[in-house]
Amino acid sequence: MHTNQPINSLMQVQNAGSELWWERIKKLGTPLLSDLDEENCVVTFIWRDPAGTHSDIETVYIDLYSKTPHPTRQLTRFSRLEGTDIWYWETSLAKDWLGSYFLMPATKEQTPPDSSDVMAIRHWWIKLMSTNAQADSLNPLPPHSNGNNIKLSAVCLQKKAQSHLKTIIGKQQTIPKKNLWHSDILANTRQVWLYKTGPKTTHKLPVALLFDGQYWATQMPIFSDLDALTSTGKLPPALYVFIDSIDSSYRYKELGCNNDFWTAIEQELLPWVSTQFLITDDPYKTIVAGQSLGGLCAVYGALNWPHRFACAISQSGSFWWPKADSLPDKSDFIQEIKTQDKSPNVLNFVMEAGCYEHDMLEVSKLMTNTLKNAGHNVTFDEFRGGHDWLCWRQGLLRSLISIFDI
């Protein structure tokens, strides 16, 4: 939804853009909401131009996860309210929407390349994000990060969930000491956080390896949740290994079905962890978990190293691999699994994807059926949400409970 004139009534008043008007907006917080029907509302995002009406800002981009199109397909731009310092964009969202977004002002010198060159647009967008992307300063919810130092704001339209969201984003937790793991196989060094739950024990601990561990360890920590779920018996005492992705380029390389990465985990990381904690070597008590590319990686690892990793959690897995523009039913990875003989090892998979993920949801369902047909134990959940860290957080905890219970 986007019209030439704003829909929200606060955007139509005569003093829009005045100091008095901005004070009112700050008190209300953004985005602004107005009812559309019983299930949806109009959501108005606002950005104030610091240079006023004499600005070199040509446009403001927004990336509202799982709502705006991918920037290589279509760029989503704000409009300026004529004669004011107000930039705005309106859309309709379901009244239970939970998701992240960032704003990205750009000057004439930062305009995109030819729209027919998809890769050029992708590189331009990533470069511009690194310098211009910002959280919404008018949003009352605390900002969070996407794991690559891009600050995000949250849209949480359920009032009951807002207080919980403030708690989990702003929660101060004791973060365990980070370790440095050097891999000779991968020729790199990264941060790893090791976290043990439950009382002291002489029994070998089950292990859960979490990809994009820097997010769950530092951006939106889950340590207190793991402790709480363990103390109530919903999770067993275990060792959680949070594996840093280093940066976006390493993440793409290593989480994208990389044999060396898995060899390094099996032959270097786990032996190193075992020097510090008594951990199991039972593959059915060793869990790998990830989101997006990490979800792909978890499934790939279990299928190819079943003797060590027999349980995998995949949230919104990138099963389109290796071609981002492939149709869900044409995924090379899925086709490869279909052509293989049934494995003698029955593996456990817990998978989920969001109802707003479109192709990602479809390809996750296809992967679920493919794994079931290959003889594996698979559960699948379609959650209310999109391709988003905010949505994955609670799902990760649910999935850990589910897979430990199998």
- Identity of the amino acid at 277: F
| Model confidence pLDDT, tens digit, residues 330-339 | 899 999 999 9
Pairing of strands 86-94, 40-48: antiparallel
| Stated pTM of the model | 0.90
* CB-facing half-sphere around the CA of 272: CA atoms within 13 A: 16
Q: How far apart are CA 314 and CA 289, in angstroms?
A: 6
- Residue 115: its pLDDT value, please? 77
* CB-facing half-sphere around the CA of 367: CA atoms within 13 A: 35
CB 169 within 8 A of CB 152: no
Q: How far apart are CA 377 and CA 360, in angstroms?
A: 21
Helix (H, G, I), strand (E, B) or coil at 94: strand
Q: Scanning the structure block, which residue is given the tokens 């004529």?
A: 82
Domains 9-167 and 171-404 in one fold: no
Please report, in tens digits, the pLDDT of each residue of the chain (406 residues total): 545 689 999 999 999 999 999 999 999 999 999 999 999 999 999 999 999 988 999 999 999 999 999 898 899 999 999 999 999 999 999 999 999 999 999 999 999 998 788 889 988 998 999 999 999 999 999 898 876 778 999 999 987 777 777 777 766 677 888 899 999 999 999 999 999 999 999 999 999 999 999 999 988 899 999 999 999 999 999 999 999 999 888 999 999 999 999 999 999 999 999 999 999 999 999 999 999 999 999 999 999 999 999 999 999 999 999 887 778 888 999 999 999 888 788 999 999 999 999 889 999 999 999 999 999 999 999 999 999 999 999 999 999 999 999 8
Q: How far apart are CA 219 and CA 346, in angstroms?
A: 35
Fold classification of 9-167 is: Immunoglobulin-like (2.60.40)
Pairing of strands 144-145, 188-196: unpaired
Length of the chain: 406
Largest Cα separation within the chain, whole Å, is: 72
* CB-facing half-sphere around the CA of 312: CA atoms within 13 A: 32
| Model confidence pLDDT, tens digit, residues 262-318 | 999 999 999 999 999 999 999 999 999 999 999 999 999 999 999 999 999 999 999
Q: How far apart are CA 403 and CA 314, in angstroms?
A: 11
The highest-level CATH class for domain 171-404 is alpha beta
- Residue 190: its pLDDT value, please? 97
Helix (H, G, I), strand (E, B) or coil at 350: strand
Each domain of the chain, given as residue ranges in start order, spans 9-167, 171-404
Among the listed residues 355, 260, 265, the one whose alpha carbon sits nearest the alpha carbon of residue 66: 355
CB 57 within 8 A of CB 49: yes
Torsion, Cα 397 384 386 67, to 10 degrees, reads -160
CB 317 within 8 A of CB 299: yes
- Residue 401: its pLDDT value, please? 97
